[in-house]
Amino acid sequence: MELKRFFELMSEKLKLDFVDLSKLINHNLTAGEAREEALRQFLIQNLPNRIGISSGFVIDTSGNTSKQIDVIIYDKNYGSFFTIGGANFFPCEIVIAVGEVKSDVASTDKLNDALEKIKSVKSLDRHRDGKTELITGPGLSIKGLKYDPLTCYRDQIFKAWRQKEEKRFWPNMACFYDDFLMSYEIDGALAADPNNAKFIYTTKPDDGSELLLFFLILNNFINIAHVARPSLLDYCGIDKSDVDYHEL
Q: What is the pLDDT of residue 139?
A: 46
Q: What is the pLDDT of residue 150?
A: 62
Between CA 74 and CA 91 the distance in angstroms is 9
Which own/partner contact pairs does 74-77 have at CB distance under 8 Å and 24+ positions apart? 74/227, 75/50, 75/51, 75/227, 76/50, 76/51, 76/52, 77/50, 77/139
User: What are the residue ranges in the chain where pLDDT is below 50?
Assistant: 137-141, 161-162
Per-residue pLDDT tens digits for 186-204: 887 878 888 888 888 888 8
Strand order across the beta sheet in which 158-159 lies: 82-84, 87-91, 51-59, 69-75, 95-99, 158-159
Q: What is the pLDDT of residue 134?
A: 64
CA-based R_g, the chain, Å: 19
Per-residue pLDDT tens digits for 30-49: 666 777 788 888 888 888 88
Between CA 75 and CA 225 the distance in angstroms is 10
Q: What is the pLDDT of residue 65?
A: 96
